[in-house]
């Protein structure tokens, strides 16, 4: 099943094999596997697709299709700190749009982009489940309530250290 160099021409990738093995090489665990791989490497690069396909006995198109479907996955590395701003209704009702503008200005990054230094990527999400303390943001794994540009900048500083 795995590492069939002769049939696919792809090279085995020990990191990929190790993560897939954690899930018994089950193709239905593909999303878990991609989450782990991205956590380790910062993205799901094009070069990762063939070894994944070989190990899980899936087609490359299937892996590519899943990678491109879910907004958490990225084919290129993102910033060292990820900042996710909630853009949904509950946050809009208490100034979410103004916050988004203020954060873009404060961090000098547009929503959906990564800062040139590679420090921060600023992303839109729809709902972080903190709607009673809106507006909400997620800096790394740290949830912020009643978020302001200051609080977000502060949390970025903390997660860098």
Partner 1 sequence: MTHPTIIWVPCDSAARSVGADAVAETLAVEAAERGVSLEIRRNGSRGLFWLEPLIEVDIAGQRIGYGPVDVSDIPALFEAGFLTGKPHDRHVGPVEEIDFLARQTRITFRRCGLISPLDTNDYESHGGWAGLKRAAILPPATIVEEVTRSGLRGRGGAGFPAGIKWKTVLGEQRTPKYICCNADEGDSGSYADRMLMEGDPFTLIEGMAIAGLATGAEHGFIYLRSEYPDAIATMNTAIARARTAGYLGPDILGSGKAFDITLRRGAGAYICGEESAMLDSLEGKRGEVRAKPPIPAFSGLFGQPTVVNNVLTLATVPMILSEDPGPEGYAALGEGRSAGTQPFQLAGNVRRGGLVEAPFGLTLRQLVEDFGGGSLTGRPLRAVQAGGPLGAYIPVSQFDTPMTYEALAEIGAMLGHGGLTLFDDNVDMAEMAQFAFEFCAEESCGKCTPCRVGAVRGAETMAKIRSGDSVEDNLVLIEDLAEVMVDGSLCAMGGLTPMPVRSAIAHFPEDFSADGGKN
73 binds partner 1 (CB under 8 A): yes
Q: Which residues of 18-49 are buried (b: 16+ CB within 10 A; e: fewer)?
A: ebbeeeebebebbeebbbbbbeeeeebeeebb
Residue position matching structure tokens 């507006």: 135
Shortest reach from residue 6's CB to partner 1, in Å = 26
**Cα(152)–Cα(161) distance, rounded to whole angstroms?**
15
CB 152 within 8 A of CB 103: yes
- Between 109 and 144, CB nearer to partner 1: 144
Task: List Cβ neighbours of 41 (8 Å cut-off, separation of 6 or more).
Answer: 15, 48
Among positions 145, 148, 153, 159, the unique one binding partner 1 when judged by CB under 8 A: 145
- Between 56 and 117, CB nearer to partner 1: 56
43 binds partner 1 (CB under 8 A): no
- Between 12 and 143, CB nearer to partner 1: 143
Contact string (CB under 8 A) for partner 1, positions 22-41, x = contact: ----xxxxxxx-xx------
- Between 70 and 108, CB nearer to partner 1: 70
Residue 116: how many other CB atoms lie within 10 Å: 8
Task: List Cβ neighbours of 148 (8 Å cut-off, separation of 6 or more).
Answer: 99, 102
CA dihedral over 136, 138, 144, 147, signed as positive or negative: negative
Contact string (CB under 8 A) for partner 1, positions 93-132, x = contact: xx------------------------------xxxxxxxx
Interface positions with partner 1 (CB under 8 A): 26-32, 34-35, 62, 65-66, 69-73, 84, 86, 88-94, 125-134, 136, 138, 141, 143-146
């Amino acid at each position: 099943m795995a590492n069939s160099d002769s049939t696919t021409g792809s090279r085995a990738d020990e990191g990929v094999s190790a993560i897939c093995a954690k899930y018994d090489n089950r193709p239905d665990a593909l999303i878990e596997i991609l989450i782990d791989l991205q956590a380790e490497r910062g993205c799901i690069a094009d070069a990762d697709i063939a070894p994944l396909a070989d190990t899980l006995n899936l087609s490359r198109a299937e892996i590519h299709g899943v990678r491109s479907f879910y907004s958490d996955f990225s084919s290129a590395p993102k910033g060292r700190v990820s900042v996710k701003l909630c853009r949904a209704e509950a946050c809009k009702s208490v100034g979410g749009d103004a916050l988004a503008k203020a954060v873009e200005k404060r961090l000098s990054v547009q929503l959906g982009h990564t800062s040139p230094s590679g420090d921060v990527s600023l992303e839109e999400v729809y709902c972080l489940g903190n709607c009673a303390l809106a507006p909400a943001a997620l800096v790394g794994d740290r949830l912020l309530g009643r978020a302001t540009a200051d609080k977000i900048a502060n949390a970025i500083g903390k997660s860098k250290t």
